[in-house]
Amino acid sequence: MTLPDRGALSRREYLKALVAAGGTSALAACLDEESAVEIPAGDPAAVPARQHAWNAVLSGDDNENIVPARHHVLLSLTLARDPTEEDRERFGRALETLERAYEWSHEGLLFTVGYTPAYFERVGWNGLPEPTALTEFEDPEFEDGDLQVHLASDHPQAVLAAEEALVGEVEEVNGVGVEESIEDLIDSRERLTGFVGPGLPAEHQDTPGVPDSEPIHEEAPFFMGFRSGFEESQASEDRVTIEEGPFAGGTTQHVETLSIDLRQWYEQDSQFQRVAKLFSHQHAEEGLVGEYGEKLDESNALTAERIANTTEDARRYGVVGHAQKAARAREDGEPLLLRRDFNTTDDDRPGLHFLSLQREIDEFVRVREAMTGTDLAEETGIGSITNNGILQYLTVRRRGNYLLPPHDLRAFPEP
Ligand code: HEM
């Protein structure tokens, strides 16, 4: 992979481009660029029992909302053979090295290791469903590896270095010697990358597919121009934790990779339409959202009544909001998904790696059905894609299902 041109980019753009490029030369360039940055070291004994326990060590905003880490790598690995007991111990030690090198926080490194149905086939367990197409308009690729490591940090160098340490390409990570890797076990690897945070999407105005006629708001954390992930529309870590069985204390993860038609979104639609399609018609009419969501606090302002009126809104206004219809899947008023999604420019086009945690994959499927809203198209005058939230702008490229065991079983678990 060729490295980005330092002279043509701002510092932040350059660092993001290095994460997207990956590899040891990108890491070296990143360390060079960030030579003044000091990242706190960590202590494996201080890492929580749940791999997905990130909220307490992410920062918050002025309300109760959790702010995601800024840089992300999803490293999918296919194993060359079934892992042995010795491999299990070795992988455990390699992961501990990362915990020693970096504080368990957004300022250090957060990570999870998730396993696929293909992995569980190796160890004779069939408790995790294969990913499938979830709408009639998609023909995605499916994750075909054994495991996926999600690396997240505010520091680009931390995600890059952790990745290279795991695959045995570096001897030191943040000053800590790398003694173990699973290099010899890896048959192939695939990486998905991205970023999230105020201002980061606006810096991608020169990516193919990102329109420059309608600039993305400078404060927007996501490509479609609005804040997301409000406290009241997120499941808690407890709510997504598996309660019984061999992986009690773990969770499941679905990753849906989407590309986004931002040209149509920004050039064809008005701000009113964008708010109506993402939130609800009422949000647009009453100006509840603001330019990029700054008027919202820890809630996306969807009342129980607004959610219950989704079908009626579709009939009356000919448009329905994405959040409004997805919220129909809440149970007893509680969201089922803990969304940790982030923007991407992988494959040189704007998109989103929609990553969500839930107690079981079936819950994701149910929420996704609510978002697809086939019932709304059948019962009202809106199209199956047009005016049906944001479906018209999205193409599903890839799907993967993972099980994230609790911390003590995270290295090649054998149920
Ligand atoms: C490019 C794609 C997407 C964008 C830009 C997007 C954006 C948003 C925004 C702005 C909100 C409202 C703010 C909030 O409640 O956090 C929202 C809510 C939500 N979205 Fe998405 N989203 C996308 C894809 C998805 C996908 C694939 C799912 C999968 C089911 C999903 C599920 C949800 C859920 C469950 C909510 C919260 C509903 C509630 O309040 O209970 N979104 N999204």
% of the chain exceeding 90 in pLDDT: 94
Segment 107-146, tens digit of pLDDT: 999 999 999 999 999 999 999 999 999 999 999 999 999 9
Separation of CA 235 and ligand 1 centre (Å) = 12
CA distance 10 to 209: 20
Segment 47-72, tens digit of pLDDT: 999 999 999 999 998 888 999 999 99
- Whose tokens are 């040891």? That residue is 24
Model pTM score? 0.97
Q: Is 402 in the pocket of ligand 1 (CB under 6 A)?
A: no
Contact 110, 67 (CB under 8 A): no
Main-chain dihedrals φ then ψ at residue 258, nearest 5 degrees: -120, 140
Q: Is 230 in the pocket of ligand 1 (CB under 6 A)?
A: yes
Q: Is 226 in the pocket of ligand 1 (CB under 6 A)?
A: yes
Average pLDDT over residues 100-108: 98
CA distance 94 to 375: 48
Which H or E run includes 394? strand 394-404
Contact 19, 75 (CB under 8 A): no
At 150 the pLDDT is 98
At 215 the pLDDT is 82
Number of Cβ within a 10 Å radius of residue 57 = 17
Nearest CA to ligand 1 atom 39: 327
Nearest CA to ligand 1 atom 41: 327
Query: Looking at the predicted structure, is the pLDDT value of residue 1 above 70?
Result: no
- Whose tokens are 């206004």? That residue is 317
